[in-house]
Structure 1
Amino acid sequence: MNNRPKRSVWPLHCPKQTAASLHDTLRATFGAAPERDITPGEFIRFGGRNRPLWVRLFTDGRAAVFGDWRTGEHQTWSELGRPMDPAERAAARAWAEQQRRQREAEQRAAWAKNAADIALQWSRARPLVPGDPVTLYLKNRLGVALWPLPAALRYVPALPYFNEDGKEVGRFPAMLAAITSPAGELLALHRTYLSRDGRKADVPGPVKKLSRTCGPLGGAGIALWSEPDDRGVIGVAEGIETAMAAHYGGRMPVCAAYSAGNLAAWQWPAGARRLVIWSDHDEAGAEAAAKLRARAQRAGLAVLTKTPQQPGMDWCDVVQQRNTAAKTAATEHHKEGAR
């Protein structure tokens, strides 16, 4: 009987225990690791498109540097907790800096390409006119027709809709909204897919989608009404429809942050002295409103947060209910008068 140990398939300079330990560290840090062996000296990307990660195991297999391609953050690892020697620390810093420079260069190139695509899409979109699917949609959502509508909104008659696999499943009317930086630069397009009669489109996924971006979105928003009124008042809400309802009900200029996360980071325009936050009545909306409120108060603004009484509602729901009730009451009054 042959009692000799089996020969390891791992490289001699990268023992199985070392490689497994690095995999475990990556999983503990990111929740993900390469699905194959980490070969010493090789630069490996993993994590997928939504979270681009990277790792490089040094040629001796005893230390590594790894990081998040998108954020630029990086960490180091060494076998069995062994401290890195000066040469390894220098190599880790050099690799991290190289990845940072490459990431920034690729980001600039992607943003430049996206900027041209976004500008072209926006230029091809049509100004709104009464009776088009966008104006009908907003009328259906609010329960009342508003006109004129902000120039930050446009209409596309047939916008391609892609499913999660990247396959085009059809073309639909769409409301386009310009997401701009505090300086007014066009950064992305918010798209709401519709039916011809102004309802939400029957699509196999989210009705609302964000285009690719051409710059950081921190502080950005949809400037439906971009300037404070003569009292220095400006309002902000999470979604387009909610902002439109707040403008209609609150009689003030209101911007849309397009998401709860961006509501917290939204930057009010210069000249604003009073900020009204039209918050959704849910946990995410309340948290975002509280963060924005704290920032604005630290900057010296007077801040008022308005929240619907009923949980789960936003101000578009409130305005729609009020307008529906008013129409019902008017109809009943007319019937009574005709008797």
Structure 2
Amino acid sequence: MNDPLQEFREAMRLAGLLPSEAIEADGLLHRFHADGDRSGTRNGWYCLHTDGRAAGIFGSWKTGFRSTWAADGKRLNDAEHEAFAELIRAARTKAQAERRAEHEARAIEARAIWAAAGTANPTHPYLIAKGVQAHDLRQAGWALVVPLFDIHGMLWNVQRIMPDGDKRFRPGRAGGLFSPIGDLTDPALLLICEGWATGATLFEESGHPVLCAMNAGNLLPVAKAARAAWPAAELLICADNDRKTEGNPGLTAARAAAKETGARLAVPEFPEGAAGSDFNDLANLRRAAR
């Protein structure tokens, strides 16, 4: 006799969304960590009942994937679909509230770290290695503290940069946040890049304000936020040219962000055989060649 729980589990496995813990067939929605997602997240979800006709649904809130399953192989009927949909709506609302509460708690911690930190030492090894000024960074012990704001000027998180360049992100909100360099009062031209040192170089060489998105995946959320906050500003996405990495993720993400927000695109070009990928690397190469 077929085991509905095992069949449901196999359907999830084939979709790449198998939870590590045992599956509960109690008709309630369960969340779990999906392979490949950031540690601590619970974007995977499922619901399975075995009363009457065994049926279930599962998916990922991160990717938007969703799939249904029924023991007899037939499609769910309208009543089953509506029951599952209502359960998912309620669970999503609860998860969003939990995530907001967690982000707010983490933001309080980040603001305390920022408030306790002192002025950054301009001779910090990371600043010397990158050839940039400290601007508005702060320092806690040996770590530089990089603030991450939203478009309303609210600090939600911080990044620590160690003397050897190791970057340590704290858990909490990240999407759409940026570290600003320069005056954001009615900018005519606003530059958007990945890393903080790249942003410092761009500001020092151009004089235009910069939003440091901190990673390629955050370029588009930051560009969208900037377009909404400063609609009169011209946006310039300053890409990382990851030409030695398959698919060039920095340039790919920058192109997508520029296309979707109507921004211009700037790409650092390196001499043949030269190392480096971003505008800070390019500036240091030029300095070394003088």
| Equivalent of 2:138 in 151, 154, 163 | 154
Match of 2:175 among 201, 217, 242: 217
Contact 1:236 / 1:257 at 8 angstroms: preserved in 2? Answer: yes
1:170-189 alignment runs, 5 A limit: 173-189=142-158
Query: Mapping of 1:88-237 within 5 angstroms?
Result: 88-131=80-123, 133=124, 136-142=125-131, 146=133, 149-151=134-136, 153-157=137-141, 173-194=142-163, 199-200=164-165, 207-214=166-173, 217-218=175-176, 220-227=177-184, 232-237=188-193
Q: What is the 5 A alignment of 1:1-339? A: 15-16=2-3, 18-36=4-22, 38-41=24-27, 44-47=30-33, 49-60=40-51, 62-68=54-60, 74-131=66-123, 133=124, 136-142=125-131, 146=133, 149-151=134-136, 153-157=137-141, 173-194=142-163, 199-200=164-165, 207-214=166-173, 217-218=175-176, 220-227=177-184, 232-267=188-223, 268=226, 269-270=229-230, 272-282=232-242, 283-297=248-262, 303-310=264-271, 312-326=276-290
- Take 1:273 and 1:236, find their aligned partners in 2: how far apart are those partners? 12
Aligned counterparts of 2:10 and 2:159: Cα–Cα separation in 1: 39
Q: CA deviation at 1:316?
A: 1.0
Distance 1:292 1:88 in 2: 40
Give distance in 2, aligned partners of 1:305 and 1:229: 22
> Residue 37 of structure 2 aligns with which residue?
none
Aligned-residue offset at 1:188: 1.5
**TM-score, structure 2 as length reference:** 0.81
Return the offset for 1:124.
1.0
Distance apart, 1:75 and its partner CA: 4.0
Q: Is the 8 A contact 2:197 2:280 kept in 1?
A: yes
Deviations along 1:131-167, one digit per CA (max 9) or x if unpaired, are 3x2xx4212212xx63xx432x21111xxxxxxxxxx
Give the Cα separation in 1 of the matches to 2:61 and 2:217.
21
Partners of 2:75 and 2:285 in 1: CA distance? 65
SS of residue matched to 2:161: strand
- Contact 1:76 1:92 (C-alpha < 8 Å) held by counterparts: no
Larger Rg: 1
Distance 2:62 2:86 in 1: 18
Q: SS of the residue aligned with 1:109?
A: helix
- The residue type equivalent to 2:190 in the other structure is I
Shift of 1:26: 1.1
Please, which moves more after superposition, 112-121 or 51-60?
51-60
SS in 1 for 2:190: strand
Query: Do the aligned partners of residues 290 and 41 (structure 1) sit closer, same or farther apart at CA in structure 2, a change above 3 Å counting?
Result: closer
Gaps of 5+ in 2: 35-39, 243-247
* Aligned Cα root-mean-square deviation (Å): 2.8
Give the 3-state SS of the residue equivalent to 1:266 in structure 2: helix
Distance verdict in 2 for CA 1:28–1:140, change over 3 Å:
same
Give secondary structure in 2 for the equivalent of 1:55: strand
Q: Which amino acid aligns with 1:112?
A: E
Looking at structure 1, the residues matched to 167 and 195 of structure 2 have their Cα atoms a distance apart, in angstroms, of 11
CA contact (8 A) 2:27 2:47 kept: yes
Instruction: State the Cα distance separating 1:29 from its structure 2 match.
Output: 2.7
The count of residues paired between Structure 1 and Structure 2 equals: 272
Q: State the distance in 2 between where 1:304 and 1:101 align.
A: 37
Contact 2:111 2:156 in 1 (8 A): no
Instruction: Give unpaired runs (5+ residues) of structure 1.
Output: 1-7, 9-14, 158-172, 201-206, 327-339
Question: 1:179 deviation in Å?
Answer: 1.1
**Which residue of 2 is the match for residue 335 of structure 1?**
none
CA 291–255 in structure 1, closer or farther in 2 if over 3 Å, else same: same
Cα distance, 1:43 vs structure 2: 5.1
Secondary structure at 1:234 match in 2: strand
Distance 2:241 2:196 in 1: 16
